[in-house]
Chains A and B, each alone.
Chain A
Amino acid sequence: QVQVQESGPGLVKPSETLSLICTVFGDSMFTKKHTWGWVRQSPGGGLEWIGSISYARGTFDNPSLKSRVTMSLDTSNNQFSLKLRSVTAADTAVYYCGRVEPAVETIDTPSAFDIWGPGTMVTVSS
């Protein structure tokens, strides 16, 4: 049974970089086998796909955030990470990591997760 868990600072200053890590629990090969990604949810409730990453196929970005986002995969530690640069108050949200539904990861935009972490709240404030 695959599980994922987000970790990182809960408070980031404006203009700085938000950094989060997602740890994958289960088969040690899972990070190589599947596509993983990030979604955030604003305090008002709206969901936004940030991007996804695959060992075999690289990264997939939301065009609206692409210029500020870097994602990476650490298969030796079964983790993947998100960096969001130049943050503002509008980036305050609950950030979720997850696994892209395997049935669609190669035939559709890889943005629909079948496994989600519990989420971590990140506040951008000075």
Chain B
Amino acid sequence: YELTQPPSVSVSPGQTARITCSGDAVARQYSYWFQQKPGQAPLLVIYKGTERPSGIPERLSGSTSGTTATLTISEVQAEDEGDYYCHSAGMFGGGTRLSVL
């Protein structure tokens, strides 16, 4: 299996960012999303495709359709900048750098 993400996404503050993750594994097992900032360990922000761990803002949401999982970040803030990785079936996507303009 492979998981494919766009290398980068750029949005202005207050807009909505959508990061996609495509691969056969997404259709077979749960998808997860991690946020990582420089020098820090990854942080789980979505599990089981749509669930948010305690402390993760409601602005972050996950969805799945067929072989594509999507992380949606509404009302993007400067603090959302970082790298986002999808994960499914023991594999990670290559990561997407979210830039807040």
Contact = CB atoms under 8 A, between A and B. Distances in A.
Interface of A: 39, 45-49, 62, 96, 98, 101, 103-104, 107-109, 111-114, 116-119
A46 B2 CA distance: 13
Nearest to B53: A114
A45 B92 CA distance: 11
B41 A118 contact: yes
Nearest to B85: A47
Nearest to A4: B41
Listed residue (B41, B47, B89) with the most chain A CB atoms within 10 angstroms of its CB: B41
A11 B43 CA distance: 27
11 contacts: A45-B95, A47-B34, A47-B92, A48-B92, A62-B90, A101-B44, A104-B47, A112-B44, A113-B42, A114-B47, A116-B41
A46 B44 contact: no
Place the interface of chain B in its size category. Answer: 20 to 34
B42 A116 contact: yes
A103 to B, nearest CB: 7
Interface in B77-101: 83, 85, 87, 89-92, 94-95
A71 B33 CA distance: 25
B59 interface: no
A26 B83 CA distance: 29
Nearest to A50: B90
A117 B41 contact: yes
Contact of B92 (A46, A108, A114, A118): A46
A104 B83 contact: no
Given A104-B48, A114-B47, A118-B41, A109 B95 contact: no
A43 B89 CA distance: 23
B29 A113 contact: no
A113 B44 contact: yes
B41 A112 contact: no
B11 to A, nearest CB: 21
Given A103-B48, A104-B47, A112-B47, A119 B30 contact: no
A92 to B, nearest CB: 18
Given A103-B51, A109-B89, A114-B53, 15 more contacts: A39-B42, A47-B87, A47-B92, A47-B95, A49-B87, A49-B91, A62-B90, A96-B41, A101-B47, A103-B47, A107-B30, A111-B90, A114-B47, A116-B41, A116-B42
